[in-house]
Amino acid sequence: MAVDHRIVHAGGGGHGKIRLRPGPAAGHRDRVLIRRETGRDADVIRAVTTAAFAAGRPPGQIPNEAGLIDDLRAGPAWLPALSLVAVTPAGEVIGHVLGTRGHVGQDPVVAIGPLAVRPDRQRRGVGSALMHAVLGAADALGEPLAALLGDPAYYRRFGFELSAIYRITPPKPDWQPHFQVRTLTRDHPRLHGMFTYPEPFDRT
Tell me the pLDDT of the chain (204 aa) as tens digits: 332 322 333 333 444 443 434 433 344 466 899 999 999 999 999 999 999 998 767 777 788 999 999 999 999 999 999 999 999 999 999 999 999 999 999 999 999 999 999 999 999 999 999 999 999 999 999 999 999 999 999 999 999 999 999 999 999 999 999 999 999 987 666 789 999 999 999 887
pLDDT for 161: 97
CB environment 36-62: b (16+ within 10 A), e (fewer): ebeeebeebbbebbbbbbbeeeeeeee
pLDDT at position 59: 76
Q: How confident is the model at residue 189, as a pLDDT?
A: 67
Altogether, the residues listed in the chain come to a count of 204
Burial tier of 146 (Cβ tally within 10 Å: 0-12, 13-18, 19+):
buried
So what CATH class is 29-203? alpha beta
Question: Can you list the positions of beta strands (E) in 3-43?
Answer: 4-10, 17-23, 33-36
What is the sign of the dihedral through the CA atoms of 199, 76, 98 and 101? negative
- With H, G, I as helix, E, B as strand and everything else as coil, classify residue 124: coil
DSSP bridge partners of 98:
83
Give the Cα separation of 63 and 113 in Å (integer): 14
The answer, as to whether pTM is greater than 0.85, is: no
Domain boundaries, the chain: 29-203
CA pair distance 196, 190, nearest whole angstrom: 16
